[in-house]
Amino acid sequence: MSTSRKACTIWFTGLPSSGKSTLAEMLDKKLKKGGHNVEILDGDVVRTNLSKGLGFSKEDRDINIRRIGFVCHLLTRNGVFAISAAISPYRNIRDELREQIGDFVEVFVNCPVEECIRRDVKGLYKKALAGEIPEFTGVSDPYEEPLNPEVVIESDKEEPEDSLNKILNKLAELGYVSKNGFTTGDDAYTQEEEEKVKKRLSDLGYI
Amino acid sequence: MSTSRKACTIWFTGLPSSGKSTLAEMLDKKLKKGGHNVEILDGDVVRTNLSKGLGFSKEDRDINIRRIGFVCHLLTRNGVFAISAAISPYRNIRDELREQIGDFVEVFVNCPVEECIRRDVKGLYKKALAGEIPEFTGVSDPYEEPLNPEVVIESDKEEPEDSLNKILNKLAELGYVSKNGFTTGDDAYTQEEEEKVKKRLSDLGYI
């Protein structure tokens, strides 16, 4: 009976400072501009509102990620794009959420740890390398790369805009949005209109 | 830019076995039938998925309720009716959530503790009265009634259907749904159509 559009959970995963939050925010803006409902569940927001008191042991990390997944699932099944930008270092929990949520698009933000250390957005690598943070992903704690993510971003080689387009193209390919992040709902272009637009852009030499 | 309809959080509060979950489920069904997006955040579901490990001290209860509130807020601002059916015994936290969420309808399920003990849906009053549960709301832990709830249900005196109608009427009065729980969105009746329907029902002697 609901009139919601189909949405999905977009699950960013990658090392600290790999660029997850930056891309998540760009995607959030783009999707909202396209008329979609979107929520970002960033690591810090979640640690404050859902997981205060949890630490960084494997067990606590798993609980944290499952909680984010639970909320993403509630949002996604109601037509809201849920974007997670938590590190989520363990493969089995990400796969568990994929199974649970169904509409799940995993975006692996791949970036060599050396480059992440150079960026060190929050100054945490410095502390971790000085031995001040005992369980820091990429330094003193493991990170398990996804085996079959829907999108791989090489954030040390690509421009953020190009990475964003990769994600949007995948979302379009999977039928969650039309090209350029715009809705696939009633107010989107029909296939015929899309063709007309493409032809016009082609005639004008843009594509 | 979003095309969501306006929704709200419906916050049930009351003693264990007062009838919160029953009414929450009835409301859930009714709203879904009316084409709305709805999620129930029941105490047990939440304790499993968001708050495992938390106890029943005031501090832990407050954390639990704030988490439910956080999730209700995310849902509500995206056009989803979020229904909470947790006991939520403390007034100040409920008022904090009201402030935070804005679209907040508090439903006080009022029922004398003697009647709740008689019902004892989960058999917990028996244990609490035997001293086996140290912090049990209504027996060994306080319950603070709301001072200005939008709806008061007298679940020991009313039929559940009548209680449900009280809630739906309040939601209609506040503009979240049209009469009978049906949507106020594009696919709802216009004011003019509503008038026509009313006139017809009146002509036929139904109202």
Give residue-wise pLDDT tens across range A56-67.
899 999 999 999
Q: What secondary structure letter does DSSP report for A141? A: B
What percent of the residues of chain A are helix, what percent strand, and what percent coil, each to the nearest 5?
Answer: 45, 15, 40
Measure A62 CA to nearest chain B CA, in Å: 12
Q: What is the pLDDT, as a whole number, of residue A1?
A: 41
Q: Are strands B104-110 and B37-41 parallel, antiparallel or unpaired?
A: unpaired
Which listed residue (A17, A88, A155, A178) is catalytic?
A: A88
| Entry pTM | 0.84
Q: Where are the domains of chain B?
A: 9-112+141-203
The residues of B that are catalytic are 88
User: CB A74 to CB B39 under 8 A?
Assistant: yes
pLDDT at B205 over 80: no
Query: What is the rounded CA–CA span in Å between residue A28 and residue B196?
Result: 43
Under CATH, which architecture does the B9-112+141-203 domain have? 3-Layer(aba) Sandwich (3.40)
Sign of the Cα pseudo-torsion (B50, A38, B36, A183, in order): negative
A97 near A104, Cβ under 8 Å?
Answer: yes
Contact B1 A32 (CB under 8 A): yes
* Tokens of residue A88, six digits: 């989520």
CA–CA min distance B156, chain A (Å): 33
Is the confidence at residue B2, as pLDDT, over 50?
no
Which chain A residues touch B66 with a CB distance below 8 Å?
Answer: 49
> Distance (Å, rounded) from C-alpha B155 to C-alpha B163?
8
Mean pLDDT for A98-102 is 98
Query: Nearest Cα to A11, choosing from A79, A113, A90?
Result: A90
Q: Give CA–CA dist A23/A153, Å, rounded.
A: 10
ipTM of the complex: 0.81
Question: Of A48-57, B16-25, B69-78, B149-158, where does mean pLDDT reach its minimum?
Answer: A48-57
B3 vs A33, A35, A39: nearest CB: A35
Interface of B with A (CB under 8 A): 1-4, 32-37, 39, 49-50, 52-53, 63, 66-67, 70-71, 74-75, 78-80, 185, 187
**What integer pLDDT is reported at residue A182 of this predicted model?**
59
* Confidence grade of residue B206 (pLDDT, cut at 50, 70, 90): low
Predicted pLDDT of residue B179: 75
Q: How far is CA B36 from CA A88, B70, B140, B178, in A?
A: 33, 20, 39, 11
- Local confidence band at A78 (pLDDT 50, 70, 90 cut-offs): very high
User: Can you tell me the mean pLDDT for B73-88?
Assistant: 97
CA distances from B201 to A198, B34, B145 (A): 52, 20, 40
Which residue of chain A has the CA closest to B187? A3
pLDDT of A112 over the 60 cut: yes
- A141, with CB counted inside 10 A (0-12, 13-18, 19+), is middle
* Residue A200 pLDDT: 59
Q: Name the pLDDT band for B201 (thresholds 50, 70, 90).
A: low
In CATH, the number for domain A9-203 is 3.40.50.300
The tokens 């193209």 sit on which residue?
A169
Which residue in the set B37, B66, B70 is minimally distant from A2, CB to CB? Answer: B37
pLDDT at position B43, please? Answer: 78
Residue type, A7: A
Q: Looking at the predicted structure, is the pLDDT value of residue A169 above 70?
A: yes
Asked if B15 and B116 touch (Cβ cutoff 8 Å), the reply is: yes
Asked whether the beta carbons of B85 and B125 are under 8 A apart, the reply is no
- pLDDT above 70 covers a percentage of chain A that reads 85
Judged against a pLDDT cut of 50, whether residue A81 lies above it is answered with yes
